[in-house]
Structures are given as C-alpha cells and as structure tokens.
C-alpha cells in the first residue's frame, strides 16, 4: 500500500506528457517497481511476473498505455478543455466503418515528435 501511494504516484507523474521511449529509461522505471516488490518478505525469491500477479500490480508499461487510452477517450469525448489538449488527427472521410472518431496516422521523421502523445496513440 505504501508503494502504491508514495512511489508509484511519483513514477507515473505526467506520463501523458513525458512517456519514456528509450529502453534504458523504461527499464530504469521498471527496476524501481522490481525492487519494491522484492521488499515483501514472502515474495522476495519469486520471479518478477509472479510477484506482480500475487500483489495484483500491473507493469508500469501497461499503466502508461492504459492512461494514454483513457486520455484519448476524454479528448475525443470533449471531457477535457479543447484549448489545452493536443490535436488528434481524425479521419473526416464518411466511408469509415465503425464510428466517426477514427484517428489518422501521420508520418514524422524526428523522434521528438514521433514519440509525442498525438503520434503515440495512433499506433495503439
């Protein structure tokens, strides 16, 4: 419970804006959770995946992805203020199947833009 309230909130602060995309940054964040789960005496000798399952904790990568999807839904639904949210390119073609909120994927050449929020969510 201490980990969830004190540590994880610090690790997930502003994930929609700053989402690590380098493997070294992702592994550094995940190592904090690995060490925290090893502090439980009954689980310290079990593998990481088993510790997560027993403690009912998802990986931080999964939580970042889930938060992106929640934020995308809120942006497309108009829950967030439209003056401060990033623009998400929506396909305006009426021939699309399913719904009218299909997100179009754009191309970019720079990593700074490629891993930003509006580009990151189109692949998911």
pLDDT at 122: 81
The model's pTM is 0.79
**pLDDT at 96 > cutoff 60:** no
**43-47, 75-79, 89-93, 106-110: which has the minimum mean pLDDT?**
89-93
Q: How many domains does the chain have?
A: 1
Q: Nearest-CA neighbor of 36 among 15, 57, 21, 16? A: 57
For residue 118, what pLDDT is reported?
A: 79
Residue 95, pLDDT above cutoff 70:
no
Return mean pLDDT, the chain: 84
User: Which two three-digit tokens encode residue 85?
Assistant: 């949210």
pLDDT-derived band at 85 (thresholds 50, 70, 90) equals confident
CA distance 110 to 107: 10
**Boundaries of domain holding 102:** 2-123
66 band by pLDDT with thresholds 50, 70 and 90 = very high
CA diameter of the chain: 58
CA within 13 Å, CB half, 75: 21
């Amino acid at each position: 419970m201490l980990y969830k309230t004190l540590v994880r909130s610090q690790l997930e602060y502003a994930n929609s804006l700053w989402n690590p995309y380098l493997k070294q940054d992702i592994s550094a964040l995940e190592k904090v959770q690995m060490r925290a789960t090893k502090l439980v005496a009954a689980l310290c000798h079990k593998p990481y995946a088993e510790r997560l399952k027993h403690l009912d904790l998802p990986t931080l990568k999964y939580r970042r992805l889930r938060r992106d999807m929640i934020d995308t839904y809120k942006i497309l639904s108009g829950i967030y203020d439209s003056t401060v949210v990033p623009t998400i390119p929506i396909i305006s073609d009426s021939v699309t199947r399913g719904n009218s909120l299909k997100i179009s994927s754009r191309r970019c050449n720079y990593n700074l833009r490629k891993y930003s929020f509006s580009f990151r969510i189109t692949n998911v």
